[in-house]
């Protein structure tokens, strides 16, 4: 009888532990706060890329590309990253990467902190047509309960969520800086950006899902090529 009781207690303990592991991530519960931690060493880790803010007539000349490639020299080319590139023919191009996060509490507000590491070759003190290749390329982060997708309105491609425009944020994204890598930079350098001082709040859908998004809103009328090396999203 004693052995049966011990065995039964063990089964109950295991069942309770399993139920706990299936619970949605809840803000303020320690290690479970990390929602995304991507270093792209073996793949895209569920991230996809796209671009918006251009006319139908400009579609063939934007030269957009999104690839999983090694970091450029002189950085460590043994490390891989998300390479995103485009030619800003519209003077308003928005390039972005996105990923769905699941397993959260349904219809719940989450305060999100983004920590980014990326490779940029653009000097803070550079100049260019339409603005600086560094300071006129605004870095934005955000999240939405619905997937951010490209939509066509009156022969113009826009984003389905509210990202704001260039130096201004919107309901679904905020500006956290620019892509400048320092004065007099002439080659790729790793830079870090975070919104630690201004966490972004987003509400999940009824399935407990969020789409997190990182992008650049550009006023620089030229080619911008960046490498996202690490993206970490934490619920505070």
155/158 Cα distance (integer angstroms): 10
What is the reported pTM? 0.86
What would the mean pLDDT of 91-110 be, rounded to a whole number?
97
The confidence band for 132, taking pLDDT boundaries of 50, 70 and 90, is: confident
What would the mean pLDDT of 77-101 be, rounded to a whole number?
97
Q: What is the pLDDT of residue 129?
A: 67
Helix, strand or coil, per DSSP, at residue 62: coil
Residue 235 belongs to what H/E stretch? strand 223-235
Our CA angle for 64, 65, 66, nearest 5°, is 135
List, for residues 166-191, the tens digit of each pLDDT value.
Answer: 999 999 999 999 999 999 999 999 99
List, for residues 13-41, the tens digit of each pLDDT value.
Answer: 333 333 333 344 444 444 459 999 999 99
Q: What is 2-235's CATH number?
A: 2.60.120.200
């Amino acid at each position: 009888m004693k052995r049966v009781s011990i065995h039964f207690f063990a089964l109950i303990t295991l069942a309770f532990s399993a139920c706990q592991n299936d619970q949605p991530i809840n803000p303020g519960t320690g290690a479970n706060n990390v929602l995304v931690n991507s270093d792209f060493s073996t793949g895209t880790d569920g991230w996809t890329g796209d671009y918006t803010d251009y006319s139908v007539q400009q579609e063939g000349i934007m030269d957009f590309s999104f690839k999983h490639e090694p970091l450029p020299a002189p950085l460590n080319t043994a490390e891989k990253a998300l390479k995103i590139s485009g030619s800003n023919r519209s003077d308003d191009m928005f390039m972005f990467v996105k990923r769905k996060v699941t397993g959260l509490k349904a219809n719940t507000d989450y305060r999100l902190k983004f920590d980014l590491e990326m490779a940029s070759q653009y000097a803070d003190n550079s100049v260019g047509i339409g603005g600086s290749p560094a300071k006129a390329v605004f870095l934005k982060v955000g999240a939405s309960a619905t997937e951010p997708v490209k939509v066509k309105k009156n022969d113009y491609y826009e984003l389905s969520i509210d990202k704001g425009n260039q130096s201004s944020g919107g309901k679904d994204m905020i500006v956290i800086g620019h892509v400048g890598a320092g004065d007099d930079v002439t080659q790729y350098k790793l830079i870090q950006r975070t919104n630690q001082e201004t966490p972004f709040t987003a509400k999940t859908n009824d399935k407990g899902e969020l789409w997190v998004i990182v992008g650049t809103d550009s006023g620089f009328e030229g080619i911008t090529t960046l490498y996202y090396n690490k993206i970490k999203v934490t619920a505070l």
